[in-house]
Structure 1
Amino acid sequence: MKSNRLFEIIYILLDKKRVTAKELAEHFEVSRRTICRDIEILSSSGIPIYTDKGRNGGIGILDNFTFDKSILSEQEQKEILASLEGLNMLKYPDMNSTLAKLRALFCKSDLNWITVDFSHWCSNNVEKDKFIKIKSAILDCNIITFEYISTYGKITKRCVEPLMLWFKEKSWYIKAYCRQKNDYRIFKVVRMKNICICEQTFIRSIPIEVGEIKEDKNKNIILKLKISKDIAYRVYDEFDIDNILYDNDGNFIVNVQYPQNDWIYGYVLSFGNHIEVLEPIDVRDKILQIVDDIKIKYL
């Protein structure tokens, strides 16, 4: 407890530059005599602390002092603060306090190099609360229950051990061990509803031999797409540059691999008349059938 108080005194002095013994005593709920003894210990340990007497006096620390400067290089200090700033944006517990202390120790100002918003456009606070619950459950190893909407619209009740929050291809997922399936699964966060954190905890991590967990057991399918040059922004935003070729008119020929499910058809149709499925034929025929069904609704 005493060593923690000594370190925190250094943090406070680096942050506020000057404080009184009375302020420190009230902060730590100890006597002024105890604070004076602490200051003597720090001074004898080589920490450049000084005291000024009088009306405007107090306890201070030399402006050019940085704590354990020899242990960490300038670049290492920046990397540590940048990493912690990222955790702070993810609402990691007590990170504000940790950042404030380390900034003071390293004599660095706020970085503010990153911001993360887990919610999608037009969503409300309910969507943000999902991530708070998921984060809490992962850190504390609590089982969670939720309702999950599958690719086909089927709603099931799930009880899982959440292991990792995962961002892939513009969507957030959690990697988890599903107690219904007795296997590892991933779940798309946007399809998770009514998340509840259980008191029951678990002890499990993702085994290395499991590899990349798949959302479902469906096989992948390779699509060959022709996309109009008029929507180049979508092509460069959504496809790997190595998968993009060009025809004689400057349009795009894209080869891409996706899980074989109904999501493919909605995705292709989102390009409107700017896209044509060249291969495989069965996907091309399915798109034609969907278009015909749509036309009937508007006749």
Structure 2
Amino acid sequence: MRADRLLQIMALLRRHGRLPARRLAELLEVSERTILRDMESLSAAGVPVYTDRGRGGGCSLLPGYRTEVSGLSPAEAQALFAWTSGSGAAELGLSGELSSALTKLSATVPAPALEQAEALASVVVVDKRRWFAAADEVPMLPVLRDAATRRRRVSLTYAAASGGLSDARAPSVRVVDPYGLVENAGRWYLLAARDGERRTYRVSRIVAAEVLDEAAQIPEGFDLAEAWEEQRAALEHFSETCTINVALDPAIVDVFTTHARFQLAVGTDVTRQGNHEGWPVLQCTFRAWRAAVSIVLAYGGQVRLLAPAYLRARVLELAEASVAAHKEGGSWPGISRE
């Protein structure tokens, strides 16, 4: 660990020129006395560092001292420094390691390339979260990362989706062979085998995870990227799409279009289909009929479902059931109303 810290001190001094021992201690989470001892060790090893005491003093690296041996181009530096997924590393429990690695690497990157990488990072933000959706909580992700990298079986306590009105069924325990972890649009999934059959688990639904002292059974030549593509293709192939025509209040066309695009079937878009009684008509193909119904009901009288007829009947049925459930005088277990 000390050698690791000495490298970080060199990298920080190279980037900043001079830093107070107190600031170095804060950045590296050690005492100021430890930093001063480290500076003495670096000097004894021939590294041209020195410490000025008193007001305006600090730790410095001799100007002109370079360790630029990486040969990284500006574009390569931008790729490494600006596009590294900080959020993904944090969720995997590796944010500290990522910061340490980039600090070390910065000591080997030519100054112009490093400046361009930092400039790009200041003007680009990558937000992989979905609109109108809360971020998944994934506290078990570091445990799963450890199990997958060490090829160990895991005992999962998993709350599977219910498919009904409740969010999930009661958690149950199952032992799996972890193949790997996949992040898709801000959500993490564990690809694993249970009793020899491939399964996909949403990490946010994993209530607890224990790494077992048993070797995981991983198929010879297994490729995680290929396996995920197969899983995704199968899911998208068997999803029953639903195409609807809706007439919209002109005031909500833009917001409706934006909202709808998050639920569209792969390879489709919202298209204009003329007018109906002065309202523009849009056609949308959704991944599932429930998504189509939910967006129609969400906008109330500002959306008129024109086709298909069978779905209009379903919308009416659900709307009437909702009115009956929410009309004044209704009651629900555990809920009191004034």
Query: Do they superpose with TM above 0.5?
Result: yes
TM-score interval, normalised by the smaller of the two chains? 0.5 to 0.7
User: Does the 8 Å CA contact 2:18/2:60 hold for their aligned counterparts?
Assistant: yes
Q: 1:155 aligns with which of 169, 187, 190?
A: 169
The residue aligned with 1:60 is: 61
Offset, 1:13: 2.9
Q: 1:138 aligns with which of 136, 145, 157?
A: 145
* Aligned pairs for 1:9-88 within 5 A: 10-15=10-15, 17-18=17-18, 26-27=34-35, 32=40, 35-39=42-46, 49=48, 60-62=61-63, 67-68=67-68, 71-84=71-84, 86-88=85-87
TM-score, normalised to structure 1's length?
0.67
* Aligned pairs for 1:247-266 within 5 A: 247-248=274-275, 249=278, 251-259=280-288, 262=290, 264-266=292-294
Mapped partners of 1:284, 1:217: distance in 2 = 25
User: Does the 8 Å CA contact 1:187/1:215 hold for their aligned counterparts?
Assistant: no
User: Does the 8 Å CA contact 1:184/1:213 hold for their aligned counterparts?
Assistant: no
The residue aligned with 1:233 is: 255
* Aligned pairs for 1:260-299 within 5 A: 262=290, 264-297=292-325, 298=327
The residue aligned with 1:166 is: 183
Instruction: Give percent identity, aligned residues only.
Output: 11
**Structure 1 residues 69, 234: closer, same or farther in 2, change over 3 A?**
farther
Offset, 1:82: 0.7
TM-score, normalised to structure 2's length?
0.61
Mapped partners of 2:236, 2:5: distance in 1 = 52
Mapped partners of 1:257, 1:121: distance in 2 = 17
SS at match of 1:150: coil
User: Does the 8 Å CA contact 2:6/2:38 hold for their aligned counterparts?
Assistant: no
Mapped partners of 2:2, 2:202: distance in 1 = 46
Structure 2: state its 5+ residue gaps: 26-31, 329-338
Mapped partners of 1:162, 1:114: distance in 2 = 31
**Structure 1 residues 238, 62: closer, same or farther in 2, change over 3 A?**
farther
Q: 2:125 aligns with which of 91, 114, 121?
A: 114
SS at match of 1:131: coil
| Partner AA of 2:183 in structure 1 | W
Q: 2:197 aligns with which of 166, 173, 182?
A: 182
Number of equivalences: 277
RMSD after superposition:
4.6
**Structure 1 residues 236, 244: closer, same or farther in 2, change over 3 A?**
farther
The residue aligned with 2:333 is: none
Mapped partners of 1:119, 1:233: distance in 2 = 16
Mapped partners of 1:202, 1:151: distance in 2 = 30
User: Does the 8 Å CA contact 1:226/1:253 hold for their aligned counterparts?
Assistant: yes
The residue aligned with 1:45 is: none
Mapped partners of 1:15, 1:105: distance in 2 = 11
User: Does the 8 Å CA contact 2:244/2:292 hold for their aligned counterparts?
Assistant: no
Mapped partners of 2:324, 2:53: distance in 1 = 90
User: Does the 8 Å CA contact 1:185/1:214 hold for their aligned counterparts?
Assistant: no
